[in-house]
């Protein structure tokens, strides 16, 4: 008999907070308040790190938590790019092909997963976690210290490789699963 998961825990509360913060991030973008935007996005990025860390350290991982975290990640990701587009239009247009590639590579596995499985993936791959940190550092440092081209391209390449891993999993897995480590771990177990 399967035991019932305890969904009332700190990691799930942090993920729920990130979802509830999204309307306030939208407000910051609409009124073009850069300070509020970077503050709220930074809090979302830090709570993203904390929810995963706490869930793993205290074995509080749940299926609901994985889905909440993925939904909060998607919302934060969309808000971060929306903020860049609205607040830094000149920068985005100067690097439009890079942004098109980045967004396209992220959207593709999301859409394929939605079409194949009826929901977004919640793999929580190591590469996805690292990508989140790398992108978070880029956004944070961009707004506080300005643009660094070398780090931008590092972020772009690493992100696209991570999205490629997710795309391959969405295409190759017979059913959608949560909390995977990497494509290598998945396929070394012979699905």
How confident is the model at residue 65, as a pLDDT?
A: 87
Q: 3 falls in which pLDDT band (50, 70, 90)?
A: low
Please state the rounded mean pLDDT for residues 131-136.
Answer: 92
Number of domains in the chain: 2
Question: Final residue of a domain: which of 87, 106, 131?
Answer: 87
- Locate all alpha helices (DSSP H) within 89-148, ordered by sequence: 89-94, 96-117, 126-145
The b/e string for 22-38 (b: 16+ C-beta within 10 A; e otherwise) is bebbbebbeeeeeeebb
**pLDDT of 146 strictly over 90:** yes
33 and 105 together in one domain: no
48 and 127 together in one domain: no
115 and 163 together in one domain: yes
Please state the rounded mean pLDDT for residues 163-185.
Answer: 93
Q: Which domain holds residue 172?
A: 89-191
Question: Final residue of a domain: which of 40, 57, 87?
Answer: 87
1 and 66 together in one domain: yes
The residue among 31, 61, 53, 44 whose CA lies nearest residue 135 is 44
Please state the rounded mean pLDDT for residues 77-91.
Answer: 95
What are the angstrom distances between the C-alpha of 61 and each of 70, 114, 158?
13, 23, 26
- What digits encode the pLDDT tens for the residues 42-68? 999 999 889 988 988 998 988 888 889
Across the chain, mean pLDDT equals 92
Question: Final residue of a domain: which of 48, 68, 87?
Answer: 87
Q: Which pTM does this prediction carry?
A: 0.84
- What digits encode the pLDDT tens for the residues 87-131? 999 999 999 999 999 999 999 999 999 999 999 998 989 999 899
């Amino acid at each position: 008999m399967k035991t019932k998961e305890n969904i009332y825990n700190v990691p799930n509360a942090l993920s729920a907070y990130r979802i509830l913060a999204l309307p306030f991030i939208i407000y910051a973008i609409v009124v073009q308040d850069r300070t509020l935007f970077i503050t709220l996005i930074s809090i979302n990025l830090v709570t993203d790190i904390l929810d995963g860390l706490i869930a793993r350290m205290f074995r509080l991982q749940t299926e609901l938590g994985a889905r909440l975290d993925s939904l909060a990640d998607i919302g934060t990701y969309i808000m971060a790019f929306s903020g860049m587009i609205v607040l830094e239009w000149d920068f985005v247009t100067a690097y439009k092909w890079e942004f098109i590639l980045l967004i396209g590579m992220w959207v593709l596995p999301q859409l394929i997963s939605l079409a194949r499985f009826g929901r977004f993936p919640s793999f929580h791959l190591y590469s996805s976690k690292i990508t989140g940190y790398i992108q978070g550092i880029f956004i944070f440092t961009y707004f506080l210290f300005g643009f660094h081209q070398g780090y931008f391209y590092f972020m772009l390449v690493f992100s696209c490789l991570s999205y490629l891993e997710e795309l391959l999993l969405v295409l190759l897995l017979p059913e959608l699963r949560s909390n995977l480590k990497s494509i290598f771990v998945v396929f070394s177990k012979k699905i």
